[in-house]
Structure 1
Amino acid sequence: MATKEKSEVEVSDHEEASYDDYEDTSMEKRVIRKFDVYLLRNAIVAGFSGKYLQSSALEFNLAVSAHLFGFVLFEIPSSLLSKVLGFHVWIPIIMVCWSITSMCQASVTTSLQLGIVRFLLGVAEAGFSPAVIDYICLFYARKELTMRYGIFIALCTIAGAFTGLLAYGIVQIKGATLKSFQLIFLIEGIPTIILALVVAVFFTKGPGNARFLTPKERLYTIERLRPEGGVDEEDRSFMKSQAKSAFLDPRVYVYVLATTLGSIPFNALNYFLPTLVGQLGFSPVDTQLMSVPPYVIATVVMIIFSWLADKYQVRALPIMIADIIAIIGCAGMIGTSANDQNLHNIRYFFTTLIACGVYTQQTIVYSWLTCNIIGQYKRNIAIATALTIGNVGGVIGILLFQQTMAPAFSNGMIVALSTMVAQFVLAFWMKFHLEYVNKKRDLAILSNNKIQLTESELKDTKFIKEKAARLVEHEPKFDDILCDSHPNWRYIV
Structure 2
Amino acid sequence: MDKRELAMRRLELAESPPPSLKIFSSTPPSTQAQFDPLGEHQLEDSACSLDTVLRLRAARATTEKRLVRKQDAVILPMTLLLYLASHLDRSNLGSARLQGLEVQVLNNSDTAYSIALSCFFVTYIILSIPGTLLGKAIDAATCISIGAFVWSIATTCQAAARTPGGLYTARCFVGVGEAMFGQVMAFHLSLWYTKPELSKRVSLVLSGGALAGGFSGLIAYGIGRLGQTAIQPWRILFLMEGLPSVLLAIVAFFCYPSRPSKSQFLTEAERALSRARMNDQSTYEATRGIKWNAVRRALFDWKTYTFAIMYSCMNLTLGSVAGFLPTIIRDLGYTATDAQLWTIPPYLVALGTTFALSSVSDRTQSRGVATAGVFLIGIAGWSVLLGTRAINASNSQFELRYVGCILVVTAAYGTIPLIIAWVTANTGSESQRGIGLGMLNTVGHCLSIVAAFAFPSRQGPDYREGITLNLAFQGLGFTIAVCLTVFFRMENRRRDTIEGTPKTGVTLNTMQKLDLAPGFRYAV
What's the TM-score once normalised by structure 1's chain length?
0.89
Q: Which runs of 5+ in 2 are unaligned?
A: 1-20, 41-55, 79-95
Q: CA deviation at 1:473?
A: 5.1
2:75 is matched with: 39
Give the whole-Å Cα distance in 2 for the aligned partners of 1:12 and 1:477. Answer: 23
Moved more, 398-407 or 184-193: 398-407
Give the whole-Å Cα distance in 1 for the aligned partners of 2:304 and 2:482. Answer: 16
Contact kept in structure 1, 2:283 and 2:508, CA below 8 Å:
no
CA 1:174 to 1:101, structure 2 compared with 1: closer, same or farther past 3 Å?
A: same
2:249 to 181, 184, 196: 196
1:322-401 → structure 2 map (5 Å cutoff): 322-339=374-391, 340-342=393-395, 343-401=397-455
Q: Which amino acid aligns with 1:115?
A: Y
Moved more, 333-342 or 79-88: 79-88
Q: Determine which structure has more spread, i.e. the larger CA radius of gyration.
A: 2
Contact kept in structure 2, 1:55 and 1:110, CA below 8 Å:
no
Q: CA deviation at 1:407?
A: 1.1
1:265 to 313, 317, 330: 317
1:30 aligns with 2:66: yes
Q: CA deviation at 1:282?
A: 1.1
1:247 aligns with 2:299: yes
Q: Which amino acid aligns with 2:26?
A: K
1:175-254 → structure 2 map (5 Å cutoff): 175-234=228-287, 236=289, 239-254=291-306
Q: Which amino acid aligns with 1:40?
A: L
The secondary structure found in structure 1 opposite 2:462 is coil
The secondary structure found in structure 1 opposite 2:523 is coil
Q: Which runs of 5+ in 1 are unaligned?
A: 447-467, 483-487
Q: CA deviation at 1:336?
A: 0.3
The secondary structure found in structure 2 opposite 1:390 is coil
TM-superposition CA deviations, 1:265-291 (whole Å, max 9, x none)? 112212222222111111111111111
1:72 aligns with 2:125: yes
What's the TM-score once normalised by structure 2's chain length?
0.83
1:469 aligns with 2:502: yes
Moved more, 297-306 or 279-288: 279-288
Q: CA deviation at 1:389?
A: 1.3
TM-superposition CA deviations, 1:81-125 (whole Å, max 9, x none)? 222331222211111111111011112122222212211221122
Q: CA deviation at 1:197?
A: 2.7
Give the whole-Å Cα distance in 1 for the aligned partners of 2:167 and 2:199. Answer: 36
1:112 is matched with: 165
CA 1:145 to 1:16, structure 2 compared with 1: closer, same or farther past 3 Å?
A: closer
Q: CA deviation at 1:490?
A: 7.2
Contact kept in structure 1, 2:283 and 2:509, CA below 8 Å:
no
Q: CA deviation at 1:481?
A: 7.0
Identity %: 25
Moved more, 298-307 or 156-165: 156-165
The secondary structure found in structure 1 opposite 2:162 is coil
The secondary structure found in structure 2 opposite 1:217 is helix
Contact kept in structure 2, 1:266 and 1:362, CA below 8 Å:
no
Q: CA deviation at 1:15?
A: 4.2
1:285-324 → structure 2 map (5 Å cutoff): 285-324=337-376
Q: CA deviation at 1:78?
A: 1.9
Q: CA deviation at 1:480?
A: 2.0
1:83 aligns with 2:133: no
Q: CA deviation at 1:174?
A: 2.9
Q: CA deviation at 1:138?
A: 0.1
What is the RMSD computed on CA atoms of the aligned residues? 2.4
Q: CA deviation at 1:476?
A: 1.9
1:435 aligns with 2:435: no
Q: CA deviation at 1:469?
A: 3.3
Q: Which amino acid aligns with 2:488?
A: L
Q: CA deviation at 1:474?
A: 2.5
TM-superposition CA deviations, 1:360-409 (whole Å, max 9, x none)? 12221111111111100110111111211112111011210223322111
CA 1:354 to 1:392, structure 2 compared with 1: closer, same or farther past 3 Å?
A: same
1:154 aligns with 2:185: no
Give the whole-Å Cα distance in 1 for the aligned partners of 2:460 and 2:378. Answer: 20
Contact kept in structure 2, 1:46 and 1:171, CA below 8 Å:
yes
TM-superposition CA deviations, 1:208-255 (whole Å, max 9, x none)? 11222221111101111113224233153x611111111112211211
2:84 is matched with: none
1:456 is matched with: none
TM-superposition CA deviations, 1:43-102 (whole Å, max 9, x none)? 222222256521420122112220110112221222222223312222111111111110
1:465 is matched with: none
Contact kept in structure 1, 2:350 and 2:414, CA below 8 Å:
yes
Give the whole-Å Cα distance in 2 for the aligned partners of 1:171 and 1:200. Answer: 34
Contact kept in structure 2, 1:143 and 1:491, CA below 8 Å:
no
TM-superposition CA deviations, 1:132-189 (whole Å, max 9, x none)? 0100000000001111111111012102211111111112223321110100001111
Q: Which amino acid aligns with 1:96?
A: F
Give the whole-Å Cα distance in 2 for the aligned partners of 1:240 and 1:481. Answer: 16
Give the whole-Å Cα distance in 2 for the aligned partners of 1:413 and 1:206. Answer: 43
Contact kept in structure 2, 1:227 and 1:477, CA below 8 Å:
no
1:402 aligns with 2:491: no
Give the whole-Å Cα distance in 2 for the aligned partners of 1:117 and 1:245. Answer: 36
Contact kept in structure 2, 1:95 and 1:192, CA below 8 Å:
yes
Q: What number of residue pairs does the alignment pair up?
A: 465
1:414 is matched with: 468
CA 1:216 to 1:400, structure 2 compared with 1: closer, same or farther past 3 Å?
A: same
TM-superposition CA deviations, 1:278-329 (whole Å, max 9, x none)? 1111111111111110000011001000000001000111111111111011
